[in-house]
Structures are given as C-alpha cells and as structure tokens.
Chain A
C-alpha cells in the first residue's frame, strides 16, 4: 500500500484476526484522568501490569482548575479523579506530569510540544481529539476506556482498518482566514458524519504552506466530521518544528529518523477510497450557529433556511436553532455576546495567543464580555509571558489563566451560564457542552479577539 496512512498502519500490524479486526501495535498511549481509572481497574482485577510502561504518558487536563493550581482542587469529585491518575501512574510505573508540573497541560498540546509525538507513530488516547497528533504525520485516534485497558495491558489495540480519504485545499488563504476556519468550512461541507469510517489525509498547497501549529488545529477537528483521524504528510515544516524538542531524537538518531520520515508521504500514484478538493479562496472567517460543528457559516453569511435541510433532519435543525436563540435567515455579525474563551486542544497553542494578541493589542476588552484566556500547557503559558503577550493582554483588560481543558467542556469551574453566548475557540458547540444551557459559537482566535473587544460577533479582518 502506498498512502501515508497505509505505510504506518501496515508497519504496525502484529496480527490479523481471521474475519475480524487487526491487532495493531501502539507506539504511544496518552492517559488523562477522566477516561483511564476504569481501565487501570481492569488490569488490577486481573492482577496484571502494563506490558510497556515506557510508552505511556499520563497527565490530568480535563478537571483541573485554571486558577490557584498550587492549591488542592476544591471540588472533591474532581480532586479524587485527578488523584486517582497520580496513584495509578505511580502503581503501574508510568510517566506522570501532574497538576502544576512544568510539563503539564492538555495532552494534545503537550505531546507535540515535547516531541513525544513523532511522525510514523501510532498514537491513541481515551479522547476523541487525539486526531490532533496526526498533523505530525502519525496515525493517531481516540479510543474508549475498554480500549485504553487493552493498550495498557498489551501495547496493542484491535481495530478495523478504516477507509481512506484525501481532502485537498488548494490556493492561498485570505487575510484573517486560519486553519480553524478551514476546518469549520470543511466540516460544514462534509457534515458531522461525512467522514465517518474514514481516515483523512489533508493535502494541497494551502495545507503544505500551513505552520505546524495550524496543521495541529486542522487535524484536531477531524473527528467533528466523524473521521477516525486526520493527518498531514511530514515535511520540512514538521522536521523544523520537532528538531531540538525534549523527547525528539538527537544527533545520529535524528538523521536516521528524518531519513525514515521522508519515506512516509503518500506516493504520487496513491489511490484513496474518496478524494475531495476545496479552494482556499472560497473560505472566509467562520462562525457556527447551531449545536454541532457542521452547522457553520462564513461570517458574512446568514443562518440557512430550514428547507435547505434534508427532511429527516429538520426537526433536529429547528431544535438546534431554538436552543441557540437564532432564526433561519438571520445574520450573526453584530449579534451581542457575553463570553469569550480562547484555549483548548484546538486553539491553545502559542500561535493562537499571538493571533489573539494581534487584534486586542492597543484595544480594550468590551465591558459586557467575560473573557477566559487559557493556555494549552505550562509551556505555552511561559511562552506567552516571555513574548510579552501577557502584558498585552493585561493592558487590554484580559486575565491570563492557568492551563487545562477549561471551558471547552466545563468539567472544572469554568462554566458558561445558561442562555449566555460564548464565542469559543474550542471544538464543540453541542448543547450544554460549555455549561448547562450555554450557547457556543465556535470560531478562530481572530474572531474571538474581535468579539472580545467589540462585545459582538465581528469580522476580524477590519482589525488586521
């Protein structure tokens, strides 16, 4: 086989079950506190240990507060879950970056940042946004807790081989159009189930010229169109990003690794089960208007009419608009908002905070807006301070918080109140995702910044 995906998948096959799934070797398992406790119990109840503890990295991210991380977590149930991860990592001899550890952060930000995620790897985690790591040229996908148990026990997983899809984005992205907008555009065209059963490779000139962090944002959102994962072929941009990172190969090992990584991209004659091409010039800064990430529009567009939806989906569509308090035909630009959240595994990297700073610099936060600025990791937090972005945020009236998943899924205290509108750089606008009754508008860091200083949904291009 000759696609990027096939080359990695095929080289990790340990065993093919007759009439069944493939037993695939896993190079890297990441564990967080929410989806791992029951998996560790599975091992304990059998009296077994991890087969390859050196391939497993643990860190809490979902529950942790974004203030006062030097103090114990106040909420007892969250605290117990985080402590359970600490105890499990210790008992099973696994590397653990606990709360306040200088390497702690959101797993999907930390993995690439430390060079733990490398091209050619198979990577899993009990989290659907594991697709993020595919941006480095890895096969990375989210799994359930029972599957986490399988990997803890055997360093392998049983999986059906997915179908292949290549999505090309050709041309140059316009001013103020980011990887987030590209992803939201693609998902709106594909729908939230349009890539289910597929593993996606993103290609084309617009992807080739994207920075590593932009590719991470793009691949992160693959799951939102149902894809098992998304990936980008490793190239000089990838190698440049990885070089010198703490866990990356060094010296002679580095040269050997790069030589291998250069063999990974799909061959010229690679054939995909499905191939789709989009034009970069068709994409403008985007916002979502509904309760799944496929319900999105360009910032200048209006909410589509009910009749544009397939009949079987119209009831769900109306329910969604009612939840959001929007009507078909309405334009969202100018609509007042209450909260802005920048962060998450989607847009919690330094590039995202630079983009946010570019717009808020010299402006002031709108009075009607509560803004949560949450770095994806302590590494990003430190960089924000070192680059002077923290000072820009403070000057504009924004407070920098401590890293974690935060308001993306509101498992900690960072919850958007019922009925309030939040422009959020995260990945899901599902009902109640950011708090019971919260209304989420997904967007890029530029759109979030423009909303934060104007207090309403605003086209960011006028500030760039």
Chain B
C-alpha cells in the first residue's frame, strides 16, 4: 500500500447520506479472504453497487456519473461494526483520500488513518449543508487543509476546524507509519518489561 503524503486536498464529493454505514456494507465478509492489501476497491460497497448477478445497480451513488471526487461524504456513525481494515483498504483503493461525516466508529477511524485516508469529523449542521450543496451542484468542491485542520465548503464559504492528534497529523503529512516509531522505542519497551 502506498503511503501518499497528505497536505491539502481540493475536490468534489460523493454523497452517501445514510447513517450507521457498517463495515459489512463497506466490504462484505465474503471478500475478506485475500492475503494482500490490493484490489479491495472493486468490492467497495459491493452489495449496494452490484446485484447478485453482478450487474450495476444504477441508482447507487458510486454508479452515478453525476458524482465524482476523492471525498466521500457520509451520514452519522460511519464505519460501525467489524474491525476489518479491509474496509479502509477498499476506500483507499477506490480512490478516496478523505471521508467526511459527523461521527465515526473508533476502530474504523484508526484504520483509515493508518491507511492515509483522512476521516474528518464535522458538525451535523455542516454535514447537512454540505449534502444540500452537493445535491444543488454536484461539482461543489470541498477544501480539506490538514496543516490548518480546516474543512471548507466552497459553495457556501463555510469552514470548520477538525480534530486530529499531533502525532498522527505528523505521520500523515510525512508518510510515516507506526511500526517504525514503536521500534525506535525498543529500549523503553525493554525497560518497562524489566520493571514489571
């Protein structure tokens, strides 16, 4: 999996106004059998995108050419349920760099961050207005500025700040991962074990 450094992203959005989108919908269990991280994008939202015969379900937003972009905008409590990181791999592999919602499930949020997809938590009001802007004009762009920790709806000019811990922000902006960091603390691990 490539670790694409994160800075500022300006793009249009794909709206998914459903609440409680669980990781079984993001990628169904029968597609979890791979032993690598590649290729999960084709199974993103598999059972909402394709029927049992494998035909596209035209009404689903990912199949609607009206909408495109690297920003997924979803209803409250996105990514609930299973801890499967395959859900984050599918989102990243499909081409999303940002997921915007008013609320994320914990494990999935970490999984996105560990795969250089930025989960941006906004207020309910901002989210509702953003859905309205996108439906009014599908080309509506959003600017996600990680260094400044801001998100802006360019249609309305409204902007909000979002939370991310300084460590994870540093990792995202510099393409670093946690294993390197943890192993650089090996002396601390060993001294903790010794004093136990």
Residues of A within 8 A of B (CB): 14-15, 17-21, 23, 25, 34-35, 37-38, 41-42, 46, 48, 51, 62-63, 77-78, 80-81, 84, 126-128, 130, 142-147, 149-150, 153-156, 158, 160, 162, 192-193, 196-197, 223-224, 226, 228, 292, 312-313, 315-316, 319, 409-411, 418, 428, 430-433, 436-437
Q: A62 CA to B188 CA in the complex, in Å?
A: 35
Residues of B within 8 A of A (CB): 17-20, 22, 24-25, 28-30, 32-37, 47, 52, 75-77, 80-86, 88, 103-107, 110-111, 114-115, 124, 128, 165-168, 177-179, 181-183, 185-186, 188-189, 192-193
Which B residues are CB-close (under 8 A) to A432?
Answer: 24-25, 28, 47
Which B residues are CB-close (under 8 A) to A144?
Answer: 83-85, 88, 107, 110-111, 114
11 new A-B contacts, CB < 8 A, other than A150-B178, A154-B185, A226-B105, are: A14-B188, A15-B188, A25-B189, A35-B85, A154-B189, A315-B17, A315-B18, A409-B24, A428-B22, A433-B29, A436-B52
14 residue pairs A–B, Cβ–Cβ below 8 Å: A20-B166, A35-B83, A46-B179, A51-B189, A77-B33, A80-B35, A143-B107, A150-B178, A196-B103, A197-B106, A292-B80, A315-B17, A430-B81, A432-B47
B33 touching A411, Cβ below 8 Å: yes
A127 and B83 contact, Cβ closer than 8 Å, known pairs A158-B182, A409-B29: yes
Q: Which of B30, B35, B103, B128 gathers most chain A CB within 10 Å?
A: B35
Which B residues are CB-close (under 8 A) to A160?
Answer: 165
B83 touching A193, Cβ below 8 Å: no
B24 touching A192, Cβ below 8 Å: no
B183 touching A23, Cβ below 8 Å: no
A436 touching B19, Cβ below 8 Å: no
Which A residues are CB-close (under 8 A) to B182?
Answer: 23, 150, 153-154, 156, 158
Q: A19 CA to B149 CA in the complex, in Å?
A: 15
Q: A215 CA to B162 CA in the complex, in Å?
A: 38
B47 touching A147, Cβ below 8 Å: no
- Contact among A21, A84, A145, A149 for B179, CB-based, below 8 A: A149
**Nearest CB of A to B45, in Å:** 11
Which B residues are CB-close (under 8 A) to A411?
Answer: 29-30, 32-33
Q: A101 CA to B33 CA in the complex, in Å?
A: 22
Q: A300 CA to B18 CA in the complex, in Å?
A: 29
- Contact among A35, A62, A158, A316 for B20, CB-based, below 8 A: A316
**Nearest CB of B to A421, in Å:** 18
B166 touching A319, Cβ below 8 Å: no
A146 touching B29, Cβ below 8 Å: no
A38 touching B165, Cβ below 8 Å: no
In the complex formed, the residue of B with least CB distance to A85 is B35
Which A residues are CB-close (under 8 A) to B104?
Answer: 196
Which A residues are CB-close (under 8 A) to B30?
Answer: 410-411
Which B residues are CB-close (under 8 A) to A292?
Answer: 20, 22, 80
Which B residues are CB-close (under 8 A) to A46?
Answer: 179
Which B residues are CB-close (under 8 A) to A223?
Answer: 81
Q: A62 CA to B193 CA in the complex, in Å?
A: 33
A436 and B103 contact, Cβ closer than 8 Å, known pairs A156-B182, A411-B32: no
In the A-B complex, the 4 residue pairs with the closest CB atoms: A20-B167, A19-B166, A144-B85, A37-B35
